[in-house]
Amino acid sequence: MATVTDSKTHAQINELTEEAKIRSEPFQRLLDEVGRVIVGQKQLMHRMLIGLLGNGHLLIEGVPGLAKTTAVATLAKGISTGFQRLQFTPDLLPADLLGTLIYQPQDQKFVIQKGPIFSNLILADEINRAPAKVQSALLEAMQERQVTIGSETFLLDEPFLVMATQNPVEQEGTYPLPEAQMDRFMLKVVVDYPSRSEELEILSRMSKTKSSMEICAVTSPAEIAQARELVDEIYVDGKVQEYVVDLVMATRNPSEYGLPINELIQYGGSPRATINLTLAGKANAFLHGRGYVTPQDIKDIALDVLRHRVVISYEAEAEDKTSDDIVRAIIEHIPVP
């Protein structure tokens, strides 16, 4: 099978590894700083950094009260950059998000009033409580990194990252996100209840009328931009590239890979899934201080990249199968190089 490889010598890979060890230190400090406020949720924190480094957006799902909003807000405080929290509600309008044209009678002309989307880190809180027209207003901003108001188009500042939280769609008053928008999110992270020991730690820290936990900014947009340049250079071997492609292709035609679950899948992952899985693997390698991607980097992150891109069929729902079940079966079945 022909492969496309970014060929690098062992010396170049070793050099990348040494640089990754140095450049990843501020992000380890960021994790430590955020960990002073957030108990547990280490996987969520790790995935947020992968989104930040891979220039991809995050969808965080969990029942209310699991510190999803606090985690994103705390991460933003740890970075010296702009932050906006948007509370999505059923009566929200696209103009409330993007901005609008305001008429000034004294000048007899319209001027542009920019919306809160013009920031760096955007927390879209409870995104699935807003109707589809507002969710769709995010599409251009998330994919094109630009916003159109009236006849003018404005580029958004870098870094630009949307971290959206949502409650499970079975909950009352929620609107499922359209598939087109789900695909714009690099990762979908499912947040679960804390363990018993974590719950005790939460009780010890948070059972006060006023929180005394403050965190310091430990990194900047310039460091993020430099880290992203290095992430782009991380080496991905041809066999790892083939492994990524096989994982995504197996979500479309599982029978070709010996998995008899075609009838359980309505749609599989798009080419964006292949790109995001590779980028997430590179970011994961960077955070571990490596200049190359291993198959385990891909395997570790594959569920979060693919779970929201696999649309299950009615047959799967009848059998009580979820997209997580199907993706896990694919990850376990596809041989690791």
Sign of torsion, CA 218 224 225 228? Answer: positive
| CA-based end-to-end distance of the chain | 14
Give the contacts of 316 (CB within 8 A, at least 6 positions apart): 263, 264, 265, 322, 326
Q: What pLDDT does residue 172 have?
A: 62
Rounded to whole angstroms, the Cα distance separating 291 from 154 reads 35
Q: What pLDDT does residue 250 have?
A: 93
Contact 279, 55 (CB under 8 A): yes
Phi and psi at 156, nearest 5°, equal: -90, 150
Rounded to whole angstroms, the Cα distance separating 179 from 21 reads 37
Query: In this structure, are strands 161-166 and 57-61 parallel, antiparallel, or unpaired?
Result: parallel
- Which residue type is seen at 71? A
Q: Residue 163: beta bridge partners?
A: 58, 123
DSSP state for residue 194 in the 8-state scheme? -
CATH architecture of 10-196+218-333: 3-Layer(aba) Sandwich (3.40)
Residue matched to tokens 């590239």: 241
pTM: 0.86
DSSP state for residue 335 in the 8-state scheme? P
Rounded to whole angstroms, the Cα distance separating 66 from 193 reads 7
Among candidate residues 35, 62, 85, the one with its CA nearest the CA of residue 191: 62
Helices (H) and strands (E) in the chain, counts: 14, 11
Q: What pLDDT does residue 184 have?
A: 87
CA-to-CA separations, 152 to 101, 139, 147, 330, in angstroms, rounded:
10, 17, 8, 45
| Domain limits, the chain | 10-196+218-333
DSSP state for residue 278 in the 8-state scheme? H
Burial 96-108 (b: 16+ CB within 10 A, else e): bbbbbeeeeeeee
Query: What is the pLDDT tens value at each position of the chain, 337 positions in all?
Result: 333 445 678 888 888 888 888 888 888 888 888 777 777 777 888 898 999 999 899 998 877 766 777 777 788 888 888 888 888 888 888 888 888 888 888 888 888 888 888 888 888 888 888 887 887 778 778 888 888 887 888 888 888 888 888 877 666 667 777 777 788 899 999 888 877 887 787 777 777 766 656 777 888 888 888 899 999 999 999 999 999 999 999 999 888 988 888 898 888 888 999 999 999 999 999 999 999 999 999 999 999 999 999 988 899 888 888 889 999 999 999 998 8
Sign of torsion, CA 287 290 293 295? Answer: negative
Q: What pLDDT does residue 304 have?
A: 94
Strands (E), 177-281: 185-190, 265-267
Q: Residue 101: beta bridge partners?
A: 112
CA atoms within 13 A on the CB side of 159: 29
Give the contacts of 43 (CB within 8 A, at least 6 positions apart): 189
Rounded to whole angstroms, the Cα distance separating 230 from 213 reads 33
